[in-house]
Amino acid sequence: MLEKSFTAIDQIKSNKAPEVDGIPPEALKYGIPALHFKLHALFIACWEQEKIPQDLRDAVIVTLYKNKDDKSDCSNYQGITLLSVVRKILARILLNRLVPFIAEEVLLESQCGFRANRGMIDMVFVLRQMQEKCREQNKGLYITYSVKHCKVNESRNGLWKILRKLGCPPEYLTMVR
C-alpha cells in the first residue's frame, strides 16, 4: 500500500489554491519523505479501522454562478465541494483501487467513456469502420444517441448495492461511504 500512497500523492494537481485545511498541494507533494510516511501510516490506520477521521470527512460546499441566465435561479449555480489535500490523496488511493476493478468486472470491452487511454476518438474510429463495412456490404447504418442526459442519477444506496453485488470488497465500500 506504500506505493499506492506515493502514487496518489504524485497524482495530486499542483498550482491549486489551498482549500479547507489551508495546506497547498505542493506542501504534501514535494514534502520530505518523512511526511509521506506519516500520511501513509494515517491511510493504513483508516483502512484497518475502516473509519476516516471526522476532520478528513468534513468538506465545505460553495456555489458558483455558471454565468448564464438569471442569477436568482438556483439551477444556474453549480456546487463545488472543497476537500482537504489529505482527503484528496485518500480519495485518489480509493479511486485508484476502484477503477481497475470496475474496468475488469463491470464495463464492457466496447465502452470507451470513463476508461483510461480510451475516449471519443476511439468511438469515432469504430463508427468509421462500421460505416465502411456497411458501405462495402451495401447495407444501411442507423445510429441514435443522446448527450442531453449523460449524467448518472443513481441513488447512493443503489450504488452501494450494485457495487456489493458486483463483488466490490466490503472494506472498500465502508471506506468510500
Q: Please, where are the H alpha helices in 12-119?
A: 25-29, 33-49, 54-57, 85-105
**pLDDT category of residue 136 using cuts at 50, 70 and 90:** very high
Q: Note the pTM of the prediction, 2 decimals.
A: 0.69
Write out the three cell numbers for 105.
468486472
Residues 69-110 have pLDDT tens digits of: 888 888 889 888 888 889 999 989 988 888 888 888 777 887
**Full domain range(s) for residue 73:** 2-98
C-alpha 124/C-alpha 122 separation (Å) is 5
Q: Answer whether residue 52 is part of any domain.
A: yes
Structural domain count of the chain: 1
Q: Convert the pLDDT of each residue in 28-53 to its tens digit.
A: 888 888 888 999 999 999 989 988 89
